[in-house]
Amino acid sequence: MPVRSASGGPKKRPKNAACRQGTARFDAYDLPRRTSDTGPVLNRFISLLAGTDLSQAIQNYEWIIPTIQSIHILAVSIVLSSVAMVVLRLMGKAGLRTSIADTVKRYVPWIWGAIVVLAITGTLLVIGEPKRELTNAAFQLKMVMVLVGVAIIAAFQISVGRHPEFWNKTPEHRAGLKLIAVGTLVLFIAIAVAGRWIAYMIVDYAAA
């Protein structure tokens, strides 16, 4: 029976594993399974990544992954809160004294900055534990949702830049836009949840 970590991730570093102690929390239960049969190309890519010096370094110091994850979560908090503030403004629930164009100017650059940090820290986490991430259904779903979320923000920012008067006048009165705004916030929450769920989707550690 594979060991499942409480929330941190795979148990695969027995030496000095004070901050990586897995748990058998769910051992008695029938867990959803994923096989490690991921195809020759992906498997070769995973071995390639896992063999790099950087991957080895990330794996060999037990404090590195929690540190990267903490920075990742801080960047998530900037993205989620910024998206929430813009969405609340579009919904007419907060910041009504500020125009939508100004709200976008305040928050969207921070979203992009945080996304850069997320891409860097996320890439490091993938390099450190390529099999844990790349073969993980939650990770794969998360990446698809990230692409959609980034596209929505880019399209929204471009539209507000080109038609500020449209956005300033009309959104509060349009049910369709409100729906898209709420849907975008839900999407970004789902991205965060999928990220957390990566830790619960791993079964095959021995081969990692």
Partner 1 sequence: MSIDAILEAIYNWPISAAIRTDYFWFPFLESVHVVCICLVVGSIFVVDLRLLGITSNKKPVTELAKEVLPWTWGTFVIAVIAGTLMFMSKTTNYYADDFFRYKMVLIVLAGVNMAVFHLFTYRSVEKWDRDVPTLLGAKLAGGFSLLCWIGVVFCGRWIGFTVI
Q: Which of 109, 99, 119 is nearest to 164 (CA)?
A: 99
Q: Does 69 bind partner 1 (CB under 8 A)?
A: yes
Return the number of the residue (26 or 45) whose C-beta is nearest partner 1: 26
Contact 22, 6 (CB under 8 A): yes
Q: Does 52 bind partner 1 (CB under 8 A)?
A: no
Query: Within positions 20 to 39, which residues make up the interface with partner 1, using CB under 8 A?
Result: 20-23, 25-26, 28-29, 31
Among 16, 19, 119, 155, binds partner 1 (CB under 8 A): 19
Q: How far apart are the first and last CA of the chain?
A: 15
The first and second tokens of residue 3, run together, are 């060991």
Q: Contact region for partner 1 (CB under 8 A) — 48-56, 73-81, 117-125, 154-162?
A: 73-81
Q: What are the C-alpha distances in Å from 53 to residues 49, 56, 58, 93?
A: 9, 5, 9, 49
> Total residues at the site for partner 1 (CB under 8 A)?
44
Any idea of the CA torsion for 82, 85, 87, 89, to the nearest 10 degrees?
-140
Q: For binding to partner 1 (CB under 8 A), which residues are involved?
A: 6-8, 18-23, 25-26, 28-29, 31, 66-67, 69-70, 73-74, 76-82, 84-85, 88, 94-95, 97-98, 102, 106, 110, 189, 192-193, 196-197, 199-200
